Amino acid sequence: MAEPAVQQPLRFLKKREVCEKIGRGKTSLDTLMKNDPTFPKPIKDGKGRSCVNYWYEHEVDQWMAEWARKRRPERDD
């Protein structure tokens, strides 16, 4: 029988934290957001250009796992 999934508390990441997590700079993250439709959309805290963007950490983690799976070569063991 499979173990039930442990529910993690929601955690929000700011842009700097997302960059650190995925190993990219801010400009590279902007390009990724523009060109990769699978990358999680940010949550805007306010209106206008100066509002802070947040991402759900679990969505970024899921994107990273899928990104790695697509790039890892299949192994024939």
Q: What is the pLDDT of residues 1-26, one digit of tens each?
A: 555 566 777 999 999 999 999 999 99
Residue 58, in any domain of the structure: yes
Q: Based on the structure, what is the number of domains in the chain? A: 1
DSSP track, 29-67: HHHHHHH-TTSPPPEEESSSTTSEEEEEHHHHHHHHHHH
Residue 27, in any domain of the structure: yes
* Tally of CB atoms within 10 A around 13: 20
Residue 52 structure tokens: 């802070």
This prediction's pTM? 0.79
In which domain, by residue range, is 51 found? 12-70
Residue 2, in any domain of the structure: no
Residue 4, in any domain of the structure: no
* Tally of CB atoms within 10 A around 21: 14
Residue 5, in any domain of the structure: no
| Residues in contact with 45: Cβ distance below 8 Å, sequence separation at least 6, in sequence order | 51, 52, 53, 54
User: pLDDT of 13-72, one tens digit each?
Assistant: 999 999 999 999 999 999 999 999 999 999 999 998 889 999 999 999 999 999 999 988
